[in-house]
Amino acid sequence: MADQGLVKETACAVVEKLKAGDVTPLDLLDVLEKRIAEVDGKVNALPTLCFDRARTHAKALMQKPASERGLLAGLPVPIKDLTAVSGVLTTQGSPIFKDNVPAKSDILVERLEQNGGVIYAKSNTPEFGAGANTFNEVFGPTRNPWDTSRSAAGSSGGAAAALASGTAWLAHGSDMGGSLRNPASFCGVVGLRPSIGRVAQTPKFGVDRTLGQQGPMARNVEDLALLLDAMSGEHPADPLSLPVLPISFLSATRSGSKPKRIAYSPDLGITPVDPEVKALTRKAAERFAEAGAIVEEAHPDFREAHECFHVLRAFDFAISKAELLRTKRDLLKPEVIWNIEEGLKLTVEKLERAEAQRVAITARALEFFERYDLLLAPATIVPPFPVENRYVVECDGKKFDNYVEWLGIVYAITLACCPALSLPCGFTASGLPVGLQMIAKPRAEAQLLAGAKVLEDILGVRGTTPIDPRPPRS
């Protein structure tokens, strides 16, 4: 009988046990199956399980010598329900695809399996990943393990809730407007949006779509780096994909390399922020001084971010979902319909303007990073909100125009093409997690992860998850 205490171990520690032969991939699947039965009913993080497929894959992996089982050596990993896994229900959170079972996996999944990952579940997501609250008509809402009356954010909410509740050691997600960073912030784990092309994916609807990127989520920075190593690398099917770097991200994370000059911004100059979130993130950022870093308040100029993202996101929805609007409109949620229709109304002049704005934002960010090693800001502008609220309507007295505007603090960084992660940095007075967004120049994931590990050590936040799901606070 496998030891349920493994649930609390780090992914790196479990991989070491796998490589030493102390546990097998089958043992880990047994542990997860039991843990899911115990706790997932309270959070609904992993609505689709595929343990038979996982055990078949694990047994095939165990035929190889331990040294040939890849970076993950048989560690189980769940895949977000937007991404195809062969032979496994892949709904995208939409009634349109409630019975969809793809014959072929996304190249991201194939790469993880080649690197010793064992896929055992699909994690919940809002319909087509639209919106930063994980609920859909197929599986219902995902709840926050820290308080099950609260949202786990989105769109990788199932991934974050699984990590926080101990039904995953590592998790895959994706991020367009903060979809790895927001749920990590709400659930007290770490989520990274990598640079464009760092993680190869199967192109869909366009070979050069760059707003959305695939990335890793984990409970701590070292585990996050391990999964990024297992996900990274070029692939001929993805023309934007980047080659593997000579030094692994895990080695870079453990290097002890410290940033010298840090910028902190409470709002990036473009958004209201909850005062408690502002205070917690500022306090965490200032602690970089304990590592000898200079910490100053500064940020690049992001003044066009809202207009630019609104247009480019709408265009992405138009090219990827217009056919569904024409043929399945009655099965789409209102926010998705709105986004597609916004895209179909666009003129070439509006697209020209938005693309020029993105180029300017990226250029200003690059210039900013000539002076600063890292930029820090809140990962999410509010603490976890009630799960029945579809999105954040207002913050600190400002009402938002639409269901994505409250995400400006993360989508501004998407537009600048920078890698960014959310690191747990503290708790509100009511005990809910808050994440600090940490940002580096494009392709500087190694520097970002090393800096995040330094601050993680200073803050002492490692090991706060997993937890048993907690009932609503009275």
In angstroms, what CA-CA distances link 151 with 95, 157, 362? Answer: 21, 8, 32
Out of 123, 179, 185, 195, pick the active-site residue.
179
Token look-up 């959310």 returns 422
Write out pLDDT tens, residues 336-365: 999 999 999 999 999 999 999 999 999 999
Q: Is 155 a catalytic residue?
A: yes
Return d(Cα 249, Cα 338) in angstroms, integer: 39
What's the 3-state SS for 141-179? CCEECCEEEEECCCCCHHHHHHHHHCCCCEEEEEECCCC
Whole-model pTM over 0.75? yes
> Tokens standing for 99?
């019975």
Average pLDDT of the chain?
97
Which is catalytic among the residues 105, 155, 185, 241? 155
List the structure tokens of 458.
């200073």
Query: Hey, what domains does the chain have and what are their CATH numbers?
Result: 4-459 (3.90.1300.10)
Q: Which residues pair with 435 in a beta bridge?
A: 424
pLDDT value of position 147? 98
Q: What is the pLDDT of residues 245-260, one digit of tens each?
A: 999 999 999 999 999 9
Residue ranges of alpha helices (H) inside 329-393 are 334-344, 348-368
Paired with 193 in beta bridges are: 420
**Per-residue pLDDT tens over the stretch 159-211:** 999 999 999 999 999 999 999 999 999 999 999 999 999 999 999 999 999 99
The rounded percent of the chain whose pLDDT value lies above 70 is 100
Give the pLDDT of residue 102. Answer: 98
Q: Annotated catalytic, 265?
A: no
Q: Quick check: 217 and 159 in contact, CB under 8 A?
A: yes
Tokens 């500087």 belong to residue: 444
If you ran DSSP here, which 8-state letter would residue 240 be given? T
Secondary structure (3-state) at 35: helix
